[in-house]
Amino acid sequence: MNWLPLSILAYLLLAAEPAARGLLRLGSADPGVWPMLAFVLVVHVALVASGQAALWTALIVGAAFDLLFVRVGPSTTFALVGPGAVGFVAAAYFVTTLRGMVARNSLFALAAVCVPAAAIAGLVAVVLLEVRSWFDPDMGPFPAGSELWARLGCALYTGATAFAVGWVIRLLSPLLGLGDGHGRRSGRFG
């Protein structure tokens, strides 16, 4: 896996993420539903790269993802790093355990795997945020139920957009050192 091209692609997807949220958002109520572009890259890497590389990619992209979205509490505005990163790692781990059963060079497989993986990432993030809200007054009220539903909606939306994003990623796969999508190893930590 070539880390430099992968980093550049991750940067482009992460930078496009906030604006794409505004453009592709569904629903007028808060929280709305939008696709997670960079997450598709994480799932693709988890499908075709070695387990360690997949988990590290998920961790780094997840942490960068967290840094892009500051939170406003009752008394302060703060960056919250962790929920996205841990959620992405959990999702990548899920994909690495599952990938032996799917056709990894198929866009349909990528889209299909994105949905449960994004749901897992969302679930982990909501659990961490809920726990944090118990003792951190700066979090303010945390509507865990509605946020979980929104994240499940995002998971479906991410799966739908994975066709387009995945197509671009697969075009660049040789450049990224990810082969043709068949992957080199099938073990979880291979």
Partner 1 sequence: MISRGPAHASRRRWLLLAVAGMVLLALLPARFTGFLNWFANRATDLTSPIHAPIHALASWIKPAAPALSPDSPQTAQLLAEIDQWKRQVFLLQDDLRRLRAQSAALQRLTDLNIQLATRQITAPVIGVQPDFAQTLLKVRAGSAHGVTDRAVAVFQAVHLVGQVRGVSDRTCMVLPLTDRGAGRLQAVIFTNERLAPRPGAAGGALDADSSPTTDSPIVADQLGGSRLVAALEPTGRGTLRGPVGPDDAPGATAATAIPEVGMIARLRDDRYPRDSWMLIVGVVERVDLQPSGRAVVTVRPMFVPDRLGELTLRLPADPAAP
Residue ranges that bind partner 1, judged by CB under 8 A: 11-12, 14-16, 18-23, 25, 28-32, 34, 52, 55-56, 59, 62-64, 67-74, 76-83, 85-86, 89, 128-129, 131-132, 135-140, 142, 147, 150-151, 187, 189-190
Q: How many CB atoms lie within 10 A of CB 100?
A: 11
Tokens of 74: 């009752």
HSE, CB side, 13 Å, CA atoms: give it for residue 46. 31
What does residue 157 show for φ and ψ, rounded to 5 degrees?
Answer: -65, -40
The CB-of-93 to partner 1 minimum distance in angstroms stands at 10
Pick 1 or 139: Cβ nearer partner 1 = 139
Longest dimension (CA), the chain: 50
The CB-of-45 to partner 1 minimum distance in angstroms stands at 14
The CB-of-44 to partner 1 minimum distance in angstroms stands at 19
What is the spatial distance between Cα 72 and Cα 185, in angstroms, rounded to a whole number? 43
Pick 72 or 103: Cβ nearer partner 1 = 72
What is the spatial distance between Cα 87 and Cα 95, in angstroms, rounded to a whole number? 12
Pick 140 or 174: Cβ nearer partner 1 = 140
The CB-of-117 to partner 1 minimum distance in angstroms stands at 16
Pick 142 or 163: Cβ nearer partner 1 = 142
Pick 112 or 139: Cβ nearer partner 1 = 139
The CB-of-106 to partner 1 minimum distance in angstroms stands at 26
The CB-of-157 to partner 1 minimum distance in angstroms stands at 13
Spatial CA neighbour of 176 closest among 67, 62, 57, 89: 57
What does residue 26 show for φ and ψ, rounded to 5 degrees?
Answer: -110, 140
What is the spatial distance between Cα 53 and Cα 59, in angstroms, rounded to a whole number? 10
Pick 55 or 178: Cβ nearer partner 1 = 55
